[in-house]
Amino acid sequence: GAVVSQHPSWVICKSGTSVKIECRSLDFQATTMFWYRQFPKQSLMLMATSNEGSKATYEQGVEKDKFLINHASLTLSTLTVTSAHPEDSSFYICSARGASQIPNQYFGPGTRLLVL
Amino acid sequence: QKEVEQNSGPLSVPEGAIASLNCTYSDRGSQSFFWYRQYSGKSPELIMFIYSNGDKEDGRFTAQLNKASQYVSLLIRDSQPSDSATYLCAGGYDSWGKLQFGAGTQVVVTP
């Protein structure tokens, strides 16, 4: 149980284009989903927290107009990197939390974004 | 500022030995703690969580929590080469379930 998928797993795009990443909880309803970014040899950096039907809450320093998050249902959240630039190249990972009082987060497999 | 501190390592452990990982946290409000394992190039996977003082065992893994001293530890018994990974400690600190992650400890199990 507690499987989270992400799509795509890899994306290469040209500078200036927008990229959408999907995160799905496959066998549970995710009350909250989280989006992280991880640069090589560094730890996870939380970008934003999203709850179904609500606006996402962004961490300090994360541009909400650049990283658009939509949490349309209890099983799907999307992250759109708008007008991507080479410095946005990173490993983007989503996680999902169910309704348990223990805040376990289950991670998706991640999406590697390379902006040329 | 909520902080979770871990030694970055690498922690070199002979195969079959016990790997001991430590983590300290600053927020006394944290109620639950998690250990994740992350292989190179992969996303983290949950190993175990603990929220009561004392020990919690799951197979070869034992988590220990001491809230008075604000530390969490993870023991890996009978370490195997497949245990070579980065281990992330995290503390839960708000009602949404946000986690504060440490930087991770790299473990290398040598045959």
Encode pLDDT of A89-101 as tens digits. 999 999 998 777 6
Residue B43 to residue A108, Cβ atoms within 8 A: yes
Asked if residues B82 and B42 have their Cβ atoms less than 8 Å apart, the reply is: no
Least confident of A56-65, A76-85, A101-110, B79-88: A101-110
Residue B98 to residue A110, Cβ atoms within 8 A: no
Neighbours of B9 (CB within 10 A): 15
Phi and psi (nearest 5°) for B81? Answer: -55, -30
Tokens of A65: 């107009």
Asked if residues A86 and A115 have their Cβ atoms less than 8 Å apart, the reply is: yes
Encode pLDDT of B10-28 as tens digits. 999 999 999 999 999 998 8
Q: What is the mean pLDDT of residues B46-54?
A: 91
Residue B96 to residue A46, Cβ atoms within 8 A: no
Nearest partner of B98 among A76, A79, A48, A110, judged by Cα:
A48
pLDDT attached to residue A111: 98
- Flag whether pLDDT at B71 surpasses 90: yes
Strand B11-14, strand B105-110: pairing:
parallel
The nearest alpha carbon in chain A to B96 belongs to A32
The CA distance from A99 to B10, in Å, is: 36
Contact status of A109 with chain B (Cβ, < 8 Å): yes
- Flag whether pLDDT at B1 surpasses 70: no
